[in-house]
Structure 1
């Protein structure tokens, strides 16, 4: 068990004031206790937690301990007589005051308690929903969806060029593929089709369904596909 952030503690500076001792001496006593606990392999964290504080005069950081109520009880065993009694009264009163402050700030009406709990739960759910929405908005398409887009582009280009065995496909396939993907990327403002947000996948499918070569490319396709056989090898090639 460790000291949690919401655990009530008092610091060693306050302890030094309560027992009317130098803070350095209180720190030494606590370190001795921690060392003794360590020798017996007993965790000291349910009792003491070393931390730092900023000196109000020079702004430098100095070590101090936080003591739980159990830590105060353990420390009080180092004192006997009147001083021990005074310290016990002081820290008991201090912890009781902290408990009272917390109790005063909590709602006492059962309905109010239930509503408070419900509001906290609702807040947590809202935060989780925000995280999920963020992930959904920023998640990219998966490899299966990438393959679907690739297949659509391949079919559209092949159909536009007149088939796999057409002269236009042989001469313009690379140019046509680049054109299709360039239109796709420009529409979505991305540098590669793989960056397409998953939420935009259906829109991407629809966009590719509408794709067709530009008027200039259609002219080239027609020119290649209406040439006599072997014309591209004898000076008839239409240049890209």
Structure 2
């Protein structure tokens, strides 16, 4: 089906359309800022039939736009009583029919299941690492490292003259950690060594502050720092202070 009007795919799975885009397509002579409030008098409710947001106008200044439900878009098109309105309404009916087709419903269900599975995998990885960290093996190193201070990967990276991103990539190459959906996790063989301390934190979604996603914040213990020092040294990487000593 040809895209007569751009369709907005919302986070909740529903489809919608921009008020300004519809206004432009309908070739309404009245300015949008005057036309839209007049249209809402037909019984449309904000938060139910439409939502307001600011978009960049052609002049670069934020302009008020609205996300309209497909039902509202169809009614506004019909209200215009023009050929363009009829064309838009028929297009929205066709879009809705395709959206509710068995194939599209199944595709959305599969995509939702895929996203849920990815989330479960991340939670599983987070929990596996945290559980392993809570059960460190007692050894000589544990007894001599009395410091309880924790350090970030960025602080460790700075000792080597690297960025946190570069250090994370290096530890990935050295088979210490792997990346899953934007987060770094230790391989299972390091979970119970006492090298890290992690906690999960909830972060609001940018698009919808009412929703949150869980991210893990991991810091390295002094034991972990010593492990990385030995590992990196064996791989030919020395902290800056030792590079200076060698140069002298």
Asked if Structure 1 and Structure 2 have the same fold, meaning a TM-score greater than 0.5 normalized by the shorter chain, the answer is no
Tell me which protein shows more helix as a share of its residues: 1
Tell me which protein shows more strand as a share of its residues: 2
Work out which of the two has the higher radius of gyration on C-alpha atoms and give 1 or 2: 1
TM-score under structure 1 length normalisation? 0.41
